[in-house]
Amino acid sequence: MEEIVELSFFRFLLVYLLLLIVLAVMKKNGASQTKLLVVAGVRMTFQLVLAGFVLTYIFGSPSPIFTAVYLIGMFSFAIYHILSKNKQLNPRFKAAIVLSFIGTGFALVFFFVVIVVNVSLFDPQYTIPLSGMILGNAMTGVTLALKTFTQSVETQRNKIRALLNLGVSPQNILKPVINNAFETAMLPTLNTMIGMGIIFLPGMMTGQILSGTLPMTAILYQIAIMITICTVVCLASFLALYFGSKTLYNSKNQFV
């Protein structure tokens, strides 16, 4: 297979013209997120360029310590992002989120890298990019689940009080709220799986094919990683909601 075509710096800069088009359309329609678009574009560029330098060094001088530190950084940033979007939650709810994310994230990363791919957990070439896909999707799923959950609880506050006065237990009151938040968290991943291979070729598969990997090998990797991503989103979101919701009421079935 032919070697991948390298992008020149000038041709790479052309892609930023697309962001200018997006910015122009948003301004034309009076969208309020134009500043966020600029900030997101700048941050994305800076973070990815920085990651490129760091990963070049790590891949060139592979060390279990470097890989472990990078993984810790990925977990830490993901947790910070989730908690920063949910500052109003009580400390025990936040602890449930952190433990759920770390537990499921590490278990699924270990399973995929060590058991499925059959390489060392400290092999940066496999562990870092695969962990990024797993943890990134878990972060998005948990964030979406918590946003839906907290908004539902807030908007249904009067209904919740009425049900409590009627003697309905907090568990039964929150169960449909948890189910709705969980389904919302799962929907993007499920939609991605439905359209994959027909509507679009996913990023991991495209990257492998561009780098010269045989299409069938790339397909097997993509199927495996998508099932793993679906699992980590499911477990991390459900456990965070399930154990976190229990911190909202006491042993007397009273909301605190």
* pLDDT of 1 above 60: no
* pLDDT of 247 above 60: yes
* pLDDT of 185 above 60: yes
pLDDT tens-digit map of 90-126: 999 999 999 999 999 999 999 999 999 999 999 998 8
- How far apart (Å, rounded) are the C-alpha atoms in residues 229 and 133? 8
Q: For residues 151-170, give the mean pLDDT.
A: 86
* Residue 77 confidence (pLDDT): 94
pLDDT tens-digit map of 2-58: 566 667 878 888 888 998 999 899 888 887 788 888 888 999 899 888 988 888 888
Q: Is the dihedral of CA 6, 11, 16, 20 positive or negative?
A: negative
* Residue 184 confidence (pLDDT): 95
Mean pLDDT of the chain: 87
* pLDDT of 156 above 70: yes
DSSP symbol at 246: G
* Residue 178 confidence (pLDDT): 94
From the list 64, 52, 55, the residue with the least C-alpha distance to 123 is 64
- How far apart (Å, rounded) are the C-alpha atoms in residues 165 and 159? 10
